Amino acid sequence: MAWTWRLETADGTETSPAVEPEEFTTQGDAESWIGEVWKELLDGGAEKVTLFQDDTQIYVMSLRAAAGA
């Protein structure tokens, strides 16, 4: 079971990350990683991220909301 992030622009287009995500073995590891690098991802052009468990979408999160904007 792999946990991965897809990074997207505001219109939902997948974008190249400022920090390359990896595959994680747990949801907690994936969420810890995003908590550490979200500012760099936002600065690099990603507006939102989608968490997947294998091919199943778990949730979408706005990086702008995390920034309080």
pLDDT digits (tens, 9 = 90+) for 3-50: 999 999 989 899 988 888 889 999 999 999 999 999 999 999 999 999
What does pTM read for this prediction? 0.88
pLDDT of residue 64: 87
What would the mean pLDDT of 46-56 be, rounded to a whole number? Answer: 96
Bridge partners of 19, per DSSP, are none
Q: Domains in the chain: how many in total? A: 1
Phi-psi region of 42 (alpha: psi -120 to 50; beta: other; left: phi over 0): alpha
Is residue 67's pLDDT more than 70?
Answer: no
The predicted structure's pLDDT at residue 16: 86
Nearest Cα residue to 3 out of 28, 25, 35: 25
State which residues form the domain around 10. 3-67
